[in-house]
Amino acid sequence: MDALEAISGIKWYFEAKNLAIKNALRIRCPLSVADQKDLRVNYSQYLANLLAATEILAKDFKGPDSKAHERYKAILYEALDFDSNGKGEANYLYLKELRNSVVHRGADISSSAHIAEDGLPLLIVQQEISNESGKSKRQAFGLYLLDIIEKADPAIGRATLSHLRIEGLLELNISPEKAKAEALEFLRSSIAVPEHVKLNAAKLFDEIDFGSVQAAQIDELIKLLEGKAVETNIFNNTL
C-alpha cells in the first residue's frame, strides 16, 4: 500500500462510517423487525469502517520508516485517553474487540437498549468483552454505544489528521503527467469498460486538471477528519 492508497482508503472508510451512523440515527422506536435489522447492520458497518480506517495507519501502510505505525498508535492512544488516566490504549482495544464481536463473531449489538424521549434507540454495549481466545478482557468506556461513539469518533479523526500532517502525507505532490499516466493505465486495464469508451475517455484526460483533483481529495479528507463534512454533523441534534 502506497501513500495515495492509504489516503484514499482512509477517506473512503470515514465516508462509509459517516453514512452508516447517519442511517442508524434515523431509526426510531417502535422498531419493526426490518428496523432492528437495519439498526444492527448500520452500527456494525459503522464499527467496521471506523476501525478499518485506523488499521491502515496502525498496521497496513508502512509509511516512511518502520516506526510509523508506533508513532500513529501513540497519537491515537493519547487522543483516546479521555480522563488522562493512561487508558487510551485500553479504550482502543475495547473498540477493536467490540468490532470483532459484532462483525466477526456475529454478536447482536441491537439486543439491549433503552429508548430516548424522541424514540431514538440507545443501544447498550457489553461492559466487558473478551477476545476470541478468552484470555484478555476489555472494559467499556460508556454505557451506550452512542456514548462511546461520541467520545471516540472525533478523537480518532483528530489523531489521524495529526499523524498525517506530521508525516507529511497531506502534502502529496504527484505531477499531473504521472497522475494522468496512472489514470490512463487504470482505464486501459479495466475489463468493465468497452474499447470504444476507453478511446473516447482517454481523449478527455487532457482537459482534466489532475493537480486540482488531488488537492480537492485532500481537502475533502481533512474536512472528514475534522468533522466538518455534512455527514459528520450527526451528534449536534441527537445526543
Q: pLDDT digit string (tens) for 49-72?
A: 999 999 999 999 988 788 999 999
| pTM: predicted TM-score of the whole model, two decimal places | 0.87
* 103, 106, 107, 109: CA torsion to nearest 10: 50
pLDDT band at 236 (very low <50, low <70, confident <90, very high): low
116-160 pLDDT tens trace: 999 999 999 999 998 877 888 999 999 999 999 999 999 999 999
Mean pLDDT score across all residues of the chain = 90
pLDDT band at 199 (very low <50, low <70, confident <90, very high): confident
DSSP annotation of 230 reads G
CA 198 – CA 8 distance, rounded (Å): 24
Closest-CA residue to 136 (of 193, 96, 109, 184):
96
Q: How far is CA 38 from the centre of its chain?
A: 19
Would you state the pLDDT for residue 205? 80
Question: Is the backbone peptide bond immediately before 176 cis, with ω within 30 degrees of 0?
Answer: no
Between the alpha carbon of residue 70 and those of residues 13, 59, 160, the distances in Å are 21, 9, 13
- Polymer length in residues for the chain: 239
Judged by DSSP in three states, 99 sits in helix
150: its cell numbers: 461520541
Say which residue the cell 480506517 belongs to. Answer: 53
Would you state the pLDDT for residue 66? 84
The number of beta carbons lying within 10 Å of the beta carbon of residue 100 is 17
Mean pLDDT confidence for 32-56: 98
